[in-house]
Chains A and B, each alone.
Chain A
């Protein structure tokens, strides 16, 4: 589907003058290839704690901001973007929920699509937006799942909203209550 996000391995963008990298600590090892050739003006934000995150901290020459959870990491990101000016590039690595929550913060700060790169890490899990109660449930691993807001059993579509940072999900048994197909784990 056209709206389904496409992720690519992160790559330093030499056209940028300043770079911000936000990574999920558990998957920091996935970008070790980037660490041999660091851009000069770089800030690193690590979300969560893990041996991989600690190693990343050791390998980059700049001090890393380590945030205990996503919310704290996003606040550090917002503060960084507040200080940034045109010429900035943002690199995101983590699960889809992290990548898109950070993207929403970046968009709010004025960053455009050409200034953001996204690489997905970890097992496939989607943030799901309930079209009935408008609650986003992060990290849903299969096509049918309960809404964390209203409890309805939802079917997760491939239709993705960048504005909401989540896949659209609707009640699967609205027409025939109780008729719920088997959940299929996300493959990608």
Chain B
């Protein structure tokens, strides 16, 4: 195995909030992990069923702790098997494969101030960013919204590393982030980072634009998850292969199984690596990614097979 992926052993499992379970990994070969930058994620191969599920999870621990890495997994409903397996089956001592870290959500080192916002499980990359900013002695604030106190993971850890800088929003008490207020009056050179549910991220981006923030200062990480769906047929124009994507497999996974030449990185519709040209679509493309622009999605000439699906007679790809 090369350094682009690691065999790991589950070292510890604990529940950090309702429906959120934390896993600590160590390398199976006993070697230290490489350093990674705040905001990085790994793709974990989960041996659920006969085929592995590969899901992206943020590394939330301290990069300087080289012997262990931590991720937190929220149980997805419905789950294609990945998060359900991790919640129900995974035990201390089990072995998994994970990729080397990738970072699609880095801190901007030239920023004069950082405004971090987490929604629910979106706290995981924010936790690693907050830790890094505290280490640098940077000017920053964290705003963390959760459904109820039972769902609030890592509150104590966040408080400990950024005392006095964390603001909590308890949605069960009707407390929500008012983004226009949050964006108002911030010093020049502030960068904004958010990880949370799609409606929250959209509201934040709209609030930022309304308060005059340029898009260059608004950063978000939105991993879509590959959700199960209806089976559909795909024709690969170059190879002439016809495949049926079953309900519990993503289009990307189905393409990989038949050996189609498609690259992938984040597997969460965020990085753009698996972008695939569509030649024809007798039906409707179900775009679930956050990578393609609305115009691209409308045009229907491209698809991100890691999370997107199709509904109709046949989808023809330029593969």
Contacts and interface: CB of A to CB of B under 8 A. Distances in A.
Contacts of B214: 15, 112, 114-115
Contacts, number: 50
A81 interface: yes
Contact-residue bracket for chain B: 10 to 19
Contacts of A16: 212
Given A15-B209, A110-B112, A85 B188 contact: yes
B203 interface: no
A109 to B, nearest CB: 5
A185 B297 CA distance: 50
13 contacts: A86-B185, A86-B186, A86-B188, A86-B190, A86-B217, A87-B212, A87-B213, A109-B188, A109-B189, A110-B187, A112-B214, A112-B217, A113-B216
A115 B183 CA distance: 16
Nearest to B215: A114
Contacts of B217: 86, 112, 114
A18 interface: yes
A110 B189 contact: yes
A110 B188 contact: yes
Interface in B150-204: 183-190
B212 A81 contact: no
A85 B216 contact: no
Interface of A: 15-18, 81, 84-89, 109-115
Nearest to B183: A86
B211 interface: yes
Contacts of A88: 188, 212
A33 B184 CA distance: 31
B18 to A, nearest CB: 36
The 4 closest A-B pairs by CB, nearest first: A110-B189, A87-B212, A110-B188, A114-B214
Contacts of A17: 211-212
Given A86-B217, A112-B217, A15 B212 contact: yes
A111 B216 contact: no
B209 to A, nearest CB: 7
B183 to A, nearest CB: 7
Contact of B212 (A18, A109, A112, A113): A18
Contacts of A114: 214-217
B112 A86 contact: no
B189 A87 contact: no
Contacts of A111: 188-189
B187 A85 contact: yes
A110 B186 CA distance: 11
Nearest to A85: B185
Interface string B212-224: 1111110000000
Nearest to B184: A85
Contacts of B188: 81, 84-86, 88, 109-111
Contacts of B184: 85
A18 B188 CA distance: 12
Interface centre among B112, B185, B187 (most CB of A within 10 A): B187
Contacts of B211: 17, 86-87
Given A86-B212, A110-B189, A110-B190, 11 more contacts: A15-B212, A15-B214, A16-B212, A85-B185, A85-B188, A86-B185, A109-B189, A110-B112, A110-B188, A112-B189, A112-B216
Contacts of B112: 110
A24 to B, nearest CB: 23
A110 B216 CA distance: 13
